Amino acid sequence: MKKLFGTDGVRGTANTEPMTSETALKLGRAAAYVFKKDNRRHQIVIGKDTRLSGYMLENALVSGICSMGVDVILVGPLPTPGIAFITRSLRADAGVVISASHNTYEDNGIKFFSNQGVKLPVALERKMEELIFTGEIDHIRPTATDVGKAYRDDDANGRYVEFVKNSLPKGLTLDGMRIALDCANGAAYKVAPKILRELGAEVILYNDHPDGTNINKNCGSLHPEVIRKAVIDHKVDVGISLDGDADRVILADDQAKEVDGDFILAICALDMIKQHRLKDNALVGTVMSNMGLELAIQKAGGKMYKADVGDRYVIEEMMKRDVLLGGEQSGHILFREYTTTGDGMITALQVLNIMKRTGKPLSHLAKCMEKMPQVLINVRVKAKTPFEDIEEIKSEITRIHRKLDGKGRLLTRYSGTENIARVMIEGHDIDTINDLAEELAALIKKKLGQ
């Protein structure tokens, strides 16, 4: 059977398969079918980021869902975690996000949340694919008053702003703080500055004028150099850089140094351990997490579990281990005591809370972890051929493992959302690991590159 879903929903170039209106309509019909439990009126929330193609896909999804007798609540541009929250808050049957996250505007994606605000299990995604490709539900055609209707919820932004603010202790404000904020011309361009300003911060805004084509364009969490420069230009206390759907964040400290997801996890985990708020003193990272994070946690008497790369796998591992904190180097951090998915603004507020409570600048807090030298090279490929199936690549990987001799590590993997091979090497000597990574990346490009 054909496959639509990847590690983060359905994604591709907008207006080519599978990101066409026709497939979006079928996805809407399949979602309405699997979430319709009985004869009552059902509701599905749909939100999106700021991509031009969002209008096209939104209308197709609405048509598909309503054609199955299910109502739609439209919330417009809102961060992915905001849609997960609104789905729970409104007690809707499911939520849909139209976004390709950190990708450029030409791409788009569709991902689904359950009524609990968590991403769907693989089995349910496979069921939706089966319904689409077999035509099993093509004959279901409600008529008259049984057809669904769509309407807008103009209160969604305000609900989400209050939800995020409530992740801070009562009475704590950001009075006196100067913050630079890069909204990536994405889904948080309205709510993120509102959250910070309502908490009392002075906010200098960057990339808050989306035009449908500039989302993530030389800005946001994939371009932390923008917010680092903003820290210098405006002499702010901290810089906050979100991605297009605002489920991840990268920070810049008062010295204009990048503070990525590993440092954020270390800062928050160590603070929670001190306050006896981190259950079993455990957190979840990924196989890409820097070794420095694990060493910092172990030194404080904690432990770190490792999941595969991808927020789906981090969350699954957190649920399995009953862990309250987890995340990725990319800045996708999940605080289970507050929310069900990664949230860039909730993450930023937790760090700001520690800064305010301790009176220490972010540059000081980030010293809690010493980052081991790490090199990451991305190679665009034609196909995701298993590395072990190509003898030269397999032999080179074996050679690098021998060269590292237990004093570093090599990780090779394919992106779950793009045709990209990732080569990551950690070790004590940056020149050595850089040479090894470049040699392997060059070989992968030669054998598999576009």
What crossing angle do the helices spanning 80-89 and 156-165 adopt, rounded to 10°?
100
Alpha-carbon distances, residue 250 vs 103, 222, 347 (angstroms): 16, 8, 10
Token pair belonging to 305: 């579990």
Q: Could you tell me if 326 and 306 are in contact, meaning their C-beta atoms sit under 8 angstroms apart?
A: no
Reported confidence tier of residue 418, pLDDT bands at 50, 70, 90: confident
Over residues 16-33, mean pLDDT: 97
Output the average pLDDT for the chain. Answer: 95
pLDDT at 398 exceeding the cut of 60: yes
pLDDT tens-digit profile of 154-186?
Answer: 999 999 999 999 999 999 999 999 999 999 999
Q: Calculate ∠ Cα 420-422-423, nearest 5°.
A: 150
- Residue 105: the pLDDT is 97
Token pair belonging to 418: 């793009």
Catalytic residue among 53, 99, 101, 241: 101
Reported confidence tier of residue 400, pLDDT bands at 50, 70, 90: very high
Over residues 229-243, mean pLDDT: 98
Residues 156, 157, 160, 164, Cα dihedral to 10°: 180
Radius of gyration of the chain (CA): 22
pLDDT at 358 exceeding the cut of 70: yes
Number of neighbouring beta carbons within 10 Å of residue 169? 9
Reported confidence tier of residue 1, pLDDT bands at 50, 70, 90: low
Tell me phi and psi for residue 205, to 5 degrees. Answer: -95, 140
101 is catalytic: yes
First-last CA distance in the chain: 27
**What are the residues facing 71 on neighbouring strands?**
43
**What are the residues facing 334 on neighbouring strands?**
326
Integer Cα distance of 177 and 154 in angstroms: 30
pLDDT at 352 exceeding the cut of 70: yes
**What are the residues facing 398 on neighbouring strands?**
none
Give the percent of the chain with pLDDT over 70: 100
* pTM summary value: 0.90
pLDDT tens-digit profile of 60-81?
Answer: 999 999 999 999 999 999 999 9
Domains of the chain: 10-154 (3.40.120.10), 159-255 (3.40.120.10), 259-342 (3.40.120.10), 374-448 (3.30.310.50)
pLDDT at 416 exceeding the cut of 80: no
Over residues 101-117, mean pLDDT: 96
Burial class of residue 63 (count of CB atoms within 10 Å of its CB; 0-12, 13-18, 19+): middle
pLDDT at 197 exceeding the cut of 70: yes
